[in-house]
């Protein structure tokens, strides 16, 4: 795996959602590094990729409330455990659970395993609220998928917050997730 700068030289054989991601980032003038790789289905595989990216590995979770009426995209460090109760208390939403793959496709145009902040470019009606763990915000770089899990991007956190999110008409809420045992 090699870190390349910018979009691939050819888009032949790539999914339209991936190409749209590169087009959108290029339109915004956001620089990014890119690694092509085999399907990354687990955090362990992503950890190997992120060693090359030299970026904060992000665990991206697509969540909803019990009634499946409010949807969240949570970005958190990959090495932190996710505790539903801890997050639920902070956002005043009881009984969070993982949202369905159908809602993920409908709102973010992403399949399970490829969840990424980049999917917010497809959420034109702002159905999904972005939650970011404070430790992600302390990083200079983050790694994420371009709406497919066979490539990974290295983006400057500042560019995501100050250029990408305003362009997709989303803001974010900072949350604190405890990384310690027994929390």
Is 183 part of a structural domain of the chain? no
Q: How many domains does the chain divide into? A: 1
Sign of the Cα torsion 63, 160, 165, 2 reads: negative
- In which domain, by residue range, is 132 found? 4-167
For the chain, what is the mean pLDDT? Answer: 91
The neighbour count for residue 92, using CB atoms within 10 Å, is 7
Q: Is the pLDDT of residue 42 over 90?
A: no
Is 182 part of a structural domain of the chain? no
Cα dihedral value 59, 64, 65, 68, nearest 10: -170
Q: What is the pTM of this model?
A: 0.91
List all residues 6 or more positions away from 113 whose beta carbon is below 8 Å from its beta carbon.
39, 40, 41, 149
Q: Of the candidates 64, 69, 73, 155, which has an alpha carbon nearest to the alpha carbon of residue 110?
A: 73
CATH assignment of the domain containing 133: 3.90.960.10
Is 181 part of a structural domain of the chain? no
pLDDT, tens digit, 9 for 90 and up, residues 70-109:
999 999 998 888 988 889 989 988 789 999 999 999 999 9
């Amino acid at each position: 795996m090699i870190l390349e700068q910018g979009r691939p030289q050819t888009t032949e054989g790539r999914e339209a959602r991936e190409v749209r991601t590169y087009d959108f980032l290029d339109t915004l003038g956001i620089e990014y590094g890119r690694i092509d790789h085999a399907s990354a289905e687990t955090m362990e595989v992503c950890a190997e990729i992120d060693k090359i990216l030299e970026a904060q590995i992000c665990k991206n979770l697509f969540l909803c409330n019990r009634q499946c009426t409010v949807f969240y995209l949570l970005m958190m460090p990959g090495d932190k455990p996710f505790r539903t109760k801890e997050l639920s208390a902070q956002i005043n939403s009881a009984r969070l659970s993982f949202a369905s793959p159908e809602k993920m496709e409908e709102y973010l145009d992403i399949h399970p395993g490829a969840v990424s902040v980049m999917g917010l470019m497809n959420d034109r009606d702002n159905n999904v609220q972005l939650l970011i763990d404070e430790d992600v915000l302390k990083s200079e770089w983050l790694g994420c998928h371009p709406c497919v899990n066979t490539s990974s991007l290295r983006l400057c956190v500042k560019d995501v917050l100050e250029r990408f999110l305003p362009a997709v008409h989303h803001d974010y809420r900072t949350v604190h997730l405890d990384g310690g045992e027994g929390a």
